[in-house]
Amino acid sequence: MNNNQKTHLNIEIKARCSNPKKIKSILQQHQADFKGIDHQIDTYFNCTTGRLKLREGNIENSLIHYNRPDGKQPKASIVTLEKIAQNSNIKAVLTNALGVKIVVDKQRGIYFIENVKFHLDEVKGLGSFVEIEAIDVDGSIGEAKLKEQCAFYMDLFEIEEGDLVRVSYSDLISHSSVDSPVPAP
């Protein structure tokens, strides 16, 4: 991956979380670096490949494009990210050019242990989730090690296969806002 393009590899999972306090306690016991609670509005735009979203928060503000297959097991995600100024006009430009697909509103606790990022999310209309993202920003870690890291934290958090979610929050919200069944978690 060329780091000048700000593209990197993640191995990641998303899971429903019935006990966020337990996960938070485990992260604290492992000296996770707590970055704070971020109120994030993710605006997803119509695009032909992958997903394109503008994240607006108090901590993180980025334009993010990612390609990730849907599936419950840890999966590779190719991410291109560009940090955006809070007062940027990019949202209006993207809305006019591509149209808005869906908006996700969430409170996110952000933690890091080395190259692994953890999110404890409260998503409006959906509930509580935990995400694990093992990140390789420069190609020096490799996919096998990222998968090992993700699996380690899944075991540590006692995440059951039935808790894993195969799609993005945008898909969950999109499916729950119509009269069709929500995709299986």
What is the reported pTM?
Answer: 0.89
Query: Residue 185 pLDDT > 80, yes or no?
Result: no
Model confidence band, residue 5 (pLDDT cutoffs 50, 70, 90): low
Q: For residue range 28-71, list pLDDT tens digits in order.
A: 999 999 999 999 999 999 999 999 999 999 999 999 999 988 88
Gap between the Cα atoms of 31 and 111, Å rounded:
10
Per the domain annotation, does 183 fall within a domain? no
Which among 51, 72, 32, 64 has a CA at the least distance from the CA of 156?
Answer: 32
DSSP 86-126: TT-SHHHHHHHHH-EEEEEEEEEEEEEETTEEEEEEEETTT
Distance (Å) of CA 127 to CA 7, 77, 111: 30, 23, 19
Per the domain annotation, does 171 fall within a domain? yes
Model confidence band, residue 6 (pLDDT cutoffs 50, 70, 90): confident
Q: For residue range 123-154, list pLDDT tens digits in order.
A: 999 999 999 999 999 999 999 999 999 999 99
Give the mean model confidence (pLDDT) for residues 5-34: 94
Mean pLDDT, the chain, whole residue set: 91
User: With contact defined as beta carbons under 8 Å apart, do 169 and 42 qualify?
Assistant: yes
Per the domain annotation, does 109 fall within a domain? yes
> For the domain that residue 93 is a member of, what is the CATH number?
2.40.320.10
- Residue ranges making up the domain that contains 170: 3-176
Give the mean model confidence (pLDDT) for residues 4-28: 91
Which among 124, 105, 113, 120 has a CA at the least distance from the CA of 16?
Answer: 120
**Percent of the chain with pLDDT strictly greater than 90:** 84
Considering its fold, how many domains does the chain have in total?
A: 1
Query: Residue 81 pLDDT > 80, yes or no?
Result: yes
The distance of Cα 122 from the centroid of its chain, to the nearest Å, equals: 12
Per the domain annotation, does 57 fall within a domain? yes
